[in-house]
Structure 1
Amino acid sequence: MDYAASESHCSELVARERSGHTAVVEDNLLYVWGGYVSVADNEVFLSNNQIWVYDLQQGVWEVFHMTGEVPPPMSGSCGCSLNGHLYIFGGCDVNGQTNQIYCVNLTDGNYTWRKIIPERGCAPSPRDKVSCWIHEGRLIYFGGYGHKLLADIDHRNRSFIVDEAAWVEDVYWGWNNEVHIFDPVQASWSEPQTHGHSPAPRAAHASATTGCRGYIFGGRVMETRKSDIHCLNLETWTWSEIVPVSSSPVGRSWHSLTAVSDRTLFLFGGLSSDCKPMSDGWLFDVEAKKWTEIEHPHENKPRLWHTACLGKDSDVVVFGGSCDYILLVDTGHCNDALVFQMQPYPLFRICEDFIAKNARNNELLRNQLPLLPPQLLTAVQRRMAFYRPSKKQT
């Protein structure tokens, strides 16, 4: 398996560095919304009425204005893509955690936000740093950090662990291990009855979906950053903890987990138990229950509170995040896209990349471009923009 990465090029227009943002990939386009940066000693939320779009084929950024029922500026929202629509749930704005859900069509070019008012069921309590699985057209949320009224906390089943340092009168903050389902067609919330041994409450964990199974790894509760991996069957709602047969990644939070095949998950980065920003990459075989650490070209680029999306040919596209321990330093926000190659490329892409990369400096090859089949010529012309000389960022 080849773990090489695509070269990094950019246009004059570049998305601002950020952490705690939302990002999804649709049709080889990376969509980025929200998040925050640090200005002096302040955390500043980024514009809520802009969506940044990065063409992964050409290496070009564009920014579009958003209208409609625009969400407030936030960080820590849980974003996912379903049927060409971006859904965001929860997050933290200037008033604290929220439990609102918003939706925007990414394919019509209008970028009009819609606030979804549930028609049935009750929304989860306000929270951020929550994760999501998608299964059979439904959004399934797990965990997060947020607040509840004291009367709503069930101390018997330990589904909510109180943060002893955060409470005001009868409102308490803490971590949860709840599972909530949102059905976009019915605009309804529900909470399934799960079975088996549930994971401990946590936030800032990472999740991925393969088939009818949702996986979570790591996350933080109290002062502990975990290294466990759990699986929830999304049809029977049965939890099981997976005990790896090999050495495992160290405990962490603010990392990413991406399904790159039907049986393989890719783990990248995060903040370790000793508060070290990390850049290690691991593959987990869900059938063999085995972790394998891999070498990759971005080992000098630690990231935490970044996003990771599955792109073309099983590439994993990591964008933004911080290279510092943001609770102490909070200055090292990033705006580069790191592309991890998870499998050998098909012949078409190998030819496309080779021609695009070399045609600029090879007159003979450049003169023969019109002889290419139309489909390959179009792809090569788009790809040549990616390999053009880098321009000064603005």
Structure 2
Amino acid sequence: MAAGPPPTQQFCVAEERSGHCAVVDGNFLYVWGGYVSIEENEVYLPNDELWLYEIDSGLWTMHLMEGELPTSMSGSCGACINGKLYIFGGFDDKGYSNRLYYVNLRTRNGTYRWKKITDFKGQPPTPRDKLSCWVYKDRLVYFGGYGCRKHNELSDCFDVHDAFWEGQIFWGWHNDVHAFDTNTQTWFQPTIRGGVPPQPRAAHTCAVLGNKGYIFGGRVLETRMNDLHCLNLDTWIWSGRIHIRGEKPKDRSWHTLTPIADDKLFLFGGLSSDNVPLSDGWIHCVTTNGWKQLTHLPKSRPRLWHTACLGTEGEVMIFGGSKDDLHFLDTGHCSDLLIFQTQPYSLLRLCLDCIGKNASLLKNQISWLPSKMLPQVLKKITFWAAANHRQEKKAEIERQEQINVT
């Protein structure tokens, strides 16, 4: 019996959002949390929904979650270790959080169950959001963020922005480093043994290459930055500001930084010092200590407060975020997935894509393929069917909008 395209189906897409968490584990992209704007109100997305994007088939599915659910939040920091998604911090209707949760993404029965970590040792960071996280040696290493502290918690690692004197609560930016060992369930604050740390900040981005944790940009007060720093995650020594050779990206916040090779980082998007949403992409090579701007990226797809994850073949997957300046026009939340190819695809991937794009022409020959390849082929057929469906739907919406305008 000939293997043809799968039956016609309705292709759903994860809801638009900003300030969410996303990780890749295996062949899936997982998305949780964030918020949208409805009639000028910030609405946090349901805390019991986990969206899964299968990279091979291009299909989204939504799974309801159980267990000790985190509150619905934005600005949380998400990271994946050994198939577990960890969520720390964030902001909700009651303020800032310093709670830590995890969910096993490799569940066998299809049930995703949150667990709040309460039986930990040590002291967690103070409540905050818009922080960053490095994953290294089964540890979650957190840096910076915006949040609140009590008067007796003030220190040099905290830049005060505002204060509420009744109860002596202070709001501001951090540049402290905290680590959580997932094996021993222990919080600890490593002793920084040298170097000059970055100034306190939030809405920055980070990435790990080897044993080095990199920090780029972010915001403090009304200033956005484009400085690059590095922390040795073995010795806990800061590099100080790394002096760049040649051209470099402009100041920004709410951007992403993704490791794409042993010595390369991919920077995308953000909000500039002029409050302009950015759509530029850059690659930083730590070996040559230089930035190179990519010229082939679309100029009409700015993103800020999005997520970026590395796919199974070196592609960077940008999901969600906003195309507007969230401080002034908080309506442009996105639900599309931008995929940036950073290296040549394998020959197998190219062949599968070719078959998927031309499934209607090749339907009588597909059954000739080795049986072990058929599941992969069917997923690629589904992928391109889903892509075409979304493109047709987008074109139809644009036509209707044009009719309404005229």
TM-score higher than 0.5 here? yes
Moved more, 203-212 or 241-250: 241-250
Whole-angstrom distance in 2 between the partners of 1:375 and 1:91: 44
User: Do the aligned partners of 1:296 and 1:340 also contact (CA within 8 Å) in 2?
Assistant: no
Whole-angstrom distance in 2 between the partners of 1:128 and 1:252: 17
Whole-angstrom distance in 1 between the partners of 2:293 and 2:330: 28
Whole-angstrom distance in 2 between the partners of 1:162 and 1:214: 25
Amino acid of the residue matched to residue 238 of structure 1? Answer: I
Tell me the equivalent position of 2:315: 315
Whole-angstrom distance in 1 between the partners of 2:189 and 2:335: 37
1:280-330 Cα offsets, whole Å, 9 max, x none, are 000000111100000234321000000000111110000000000011110
Tell me the equivalent position of 1:378: 375
Moved more, 179-188 or 292-301: 292-301
Tell me the equivalent position of 2:366: 369
Compute the RMSD of aligned alpha carbons.
Answer: 1.5
Tell me the equivalent position of 1:48: 47
Tell me the equivalent position of 1:5: none
User: Do the aligned partners of 2:146 and 2:202 also contact (CA within 8 Å) in 1?
Assistant: yes
Is residue 12 of structure 1 aligned with residue 5 of structure 2? no
Tell me the equivalent position of 1:304: 304
Whole-angstrom distance in 1 between the partners of 2:222 and 2:273: 9
Tell me the equivalent position of 1:145: 146
Cα distance, 1:174–1:310 mapped onto 2, change above 3 Å: same
Cα distance, 1:149–1:298 mapped onto 2, change above 3 Å: same
Counterparts of 1:1-394 in structure 2, within 5 Å, are: 12-108=11-107, 109-154=110-155, 158-164=156-162, 169-194=167-192, 195-240=194-239, 241-360=241-360, 362=361, 365-388=362-385, 389-390=388-389, 392=393
Structure 2 segments unaligned to the other structure (5+ residues): 1-8, 398-406
User: Do the aligned partners of 2:206 and 2:256 also contact (CA within 8 Å) in 1?
Assistant: yes
Whole-angstrom distance in 2 between the partners of 1:297 and 1:93: 34
Whole-angstrom distance in 2 between the partners of 1:99 and 1:56: 32
User: Do the aligned partners of 1:117 and 1:187 also contact (CA within 8 Å) in 2?
Assistant: no
- Once the 2 structures are TM-superposed, how far is the Cα of residue 118 of structure 1 from its aligned partner? 4.3
User: Do the aligned partners of 1:46 and 1:73 also contact (CA within 8 Å) in 2?
Assistant: yes
Tell me the equivalent position of 1:7: none
- Once the 2 structures are TM-superposed, how far is the Cα of residue 165 of structure 1 from its aligned partner? 6.5
Whole-angstrom distance in 1 between the partners of 2:162 and 2:134: 30
1:351-376 Cα offsets, whole Å, 9 max, x none, are 1111111122x1xx322211212333
1:63-97 Cα offsets, whole Å, 9 max, x none, are 11100000000000000111011000000011111
Moved more, 103-112 or 370-379: 370-379
Whole-angstrom distance in 1 between the partners of 2:77 and 2:348: 35
Structure 1 segments unaligned to the other structure (5+ residues): 1-9
Count residues with an aligned counterpart.
Answer: 379
- Once the 2 structures are TM-superposed, how far is the Cα of residue 256 of structure 1 from its aligned partner? 0.3
User: Do the aligned partners of 2:163 and 2:170 also contact (CA within 8 Å) in 1?
Assistant: no
Whole-angstrom distance in 1 between the partners of 2:172 and 2:293: 32
SS where residue 257 of structure 1 aligns? strand
SS where residue 377 of structure 2 aligns? helix
User: Do the aligned partners of 1:118 and 1:189 also contact (CA within 8 Å) in 2?
Assistant: no
Runs ≥4 residues deviating over 3 A: 164-169, 391-394
User: Do the aligned partners of 2:281 and 2:297 also contact (CA within 8 Å) in 1?
Assistant: no
* Seq. identity, %: 51
Cα distance, 1:238–1:97 mapped onto 2, change above 3 Å: same
- Once the 2 structures are TM-superposed, how far is the Cα of residue 169 of structure 1 from its aligned partner? 4.1
- Once the 2 structures are TM-superposed, how far is the Cα of residue 13 of structure 1 from its aligned partner? 1.8
User: Do the aligned partners of 1:298 and 1:338 also contact (CA within 8 Å) in 2?
Assistant: no
- Once the 2 structures are TM-superposed, how far is the Cα of residue 168 of structure 1 from its aligned partner? 5.1
TM-score using structure 1 length: 0.93
Whole-angstrom distance in 1 between the partners of 2:339 and 2:165: 41
